Amino acid sequence: MLRITDLSKKYSKSPDTVIRALDGVSLNIEAGEFVVVQGPSGSGKTTLLLAVGGLLPPSGGTVEFDGRKLYRMSQAERAKLRAREIGFVFQQFYLVSYLNVLDNVLTPSLALPDQQAQIRARELIEHFKLTDRIGHFPGELSTGERQRVGLARALLNRPRLLLADEPTGNLDQDNTRIVLGYFADFSRSGGTVLMVTHSPAAAEYAHRTVQLKEGKLVD
Ligand code: ADP
Ligand code: MG
């Protein structure tokens, strides 16, 4: 489902300082696979996820989603594919502080609110055991609950691919395992997961773990 070929990304802050954040990364991921990328801070993990998610044009190489090259598409096509097929989960949650749980989960559909989205949001809120928090605001939630809201939001549009950037970075051990379990459930039901993390526990839940070091994948 995902074919990453010889991906590179250079950042240049000035003409004589070029950072090779990604340096020839190739990785193929099947539908239903749960792949974890581990690597130290600065190894290029976030850059990889942003490039794979269509949010950051690489300097070289290709990202194919179901055989379609992401960066050959127009920006509008890429945005549409992203909205329909890809869910993002972040370490910092990025919930909207003045929206309650239900409305945060609904944000991916706010442009076209409809009955189906409401039903789906309530199902997800129940699935993630947030029903008694549905009217609460992010500031009233525990960090574990916030990340479950983040997961529900990521799944609203029934994406086929979840991209997660250190989703357990702010969670304690118990909540880390709860959240990792949900990612594993998603892949068991046919979804694809690419997660970057420091968490050693993640490897127990994933089908495959690869290491990123200075922008290169090492086995
Ligand atoms: P990780 O997520 O593994 O910590 P990143 O992908 O954030 O790694 O960063 C990889 C490297 O690229 C680091 O050296 C970082 O400082 C650099 N980098 C990331 N984003 C930018 C940017 N926008 N401009 C310049 N350098 C960047
Ligand atoms: Mg990062």
CA 157 / ligand 2 centre spacing (Å) = 25
- What is the count of structural domains for the chain? 1
What averages of pLDDT result for each successive group of 10 residues across the chain (219 residues)? 98 89 98 96 96 96 97 96 94 94 92 82 95 98 96 95 95 91 95 92 93 93
pTM of the model: 0.95
What one-character-per-residue DSSP string does 28-50 give?
EE-TT-EEEEE--TTSSHHHHHH
Locus of tokens 């290709």 = 62
Cα–Cα distances in angstroms (integers) from residue 95 to residues 122, 128, 177, in the given order: 17, 16, 21
**133 CB near ligand 1 (under 6 Å):** no
Query: Ligand 1 atom closest to Cα of 9?
Result: 12
Task: Name which residue sits closest to atom 26 of ligand 1, judged by CA.
Answer: 11
Which domain covers residue 116, as residue numbers?
A: 2-217
CATH number for the domain harbouring residue 52:
3.40.50.300
> Max CA-CA distance within the chain?
55
- Is 21's C-beta closer than 6 angstroms to any atom of ligand 1? yes
H or E element at residue 89: strand 86-90
